[in-house]
Structure 1
């Protein structure tokens, strides 16, 4: 991973970490950069993959995704409860996936289980110069 990729991944982690719950008793999520690379045949776009680990009962604070980001989410293990924009609240199980359009409001993102962990792969396609892929919803 080159310096630009490392700095970009670190920026993503910091941006997502800012959306985590503040209360110590409310378990959050752990976001780990997995992959980042410019898309050679789409100038100005970068593909970024993150692994999101939720402990039992873990949740992410409501957040908005970058205006340029298209997101594919795939549940690696466990069950994830999700609500994007005005869509229905749904539970996705291991092997299931969904997408989020640019500038989506991710209102619910949490582990559906209070006893088992869950893991999600989030793949973003966004403008290379996008400063933050997520921001808290006030």
Structure 2
């Protein structure tokens, strides 16, 4: 099984799963948690997945990720612009992915299109006792 078919199967499974109520934000994003489970062979770690839906022109506020959170992001549809830490702003299209190391600053995360929606799957491995996976960066 390839990573693409695995992600496709995971996305299809998530799409038919009973969703936890989504959190809407003012900038045109909706975050829907789908799965969280302790990793049985890695004590003290959990795996979480969520879907981020971006309306046309939608964006996430700049945020920090938890010190223990390793994140794999996969674009399900549309195009997403992302900037992590001091890296360049990059555009990822459906079927493309990136990762974010623990304690990253996610400075740009937005739909690259002003006319079409975009959707992202985030897979997160973090400490089991980690309560906040993201914290908004205060803008002065």
Per the TM superposition, whether the score is higher than 0.5 is yes
Match of 2:101 in 1: 101
Alignment of 1:2-21 (within 5 A): 20-21=25-26
Supply the RMSD in Å over aligned alpha carbons.
1.5
Match of 1:91 in 2: 91
- Deviations along 1:47-86, one digit per CA (max 9) or x if unpaired, are 0000000000000000000000000000000000000000
Mapped to 2, the partners of 1:53 and 1:28 lie a distance apart of: 8
The gaps in structure 1 that reach 5 residues or longer are 1-8, 22-26
Alignment of 1:56 onto 2:56: yes
Match of 2:79 in 1: 79
Provide TM-score, normalisation by structure 1: 0.82
1:34, CA displacement in angstroms?
1.2
- Deviations along 1:85-125, one digit per CA (max 9) or x if unpaired, are 00010000000000000000000000000000000000110
Q: Which runs of 4+ in 1 moved over 3 A?
A: none
Mapped to 1, the partners of 2:28 and 2:107 lie a distance apart of: 15
Mapped to 1, the partners of 2:48 and 2:28 lie a distance apart of: 21
Mapped to 2, the partners of 1:131 and 1:50 lie a distance apart of: 15
1:28, CA displacement in angstroms?
2.1
Provide TM-score, normalisation by structure 2: 0.81
Alignment of 1:65 onto 2:65: yes
Match of 1:113 in 2: 113
The gaps in structure 2 that reach 5 residues or longer are 1-19
1:131, CA displacement in angstroms?
1.2
Match of 1:137 in 2: 137
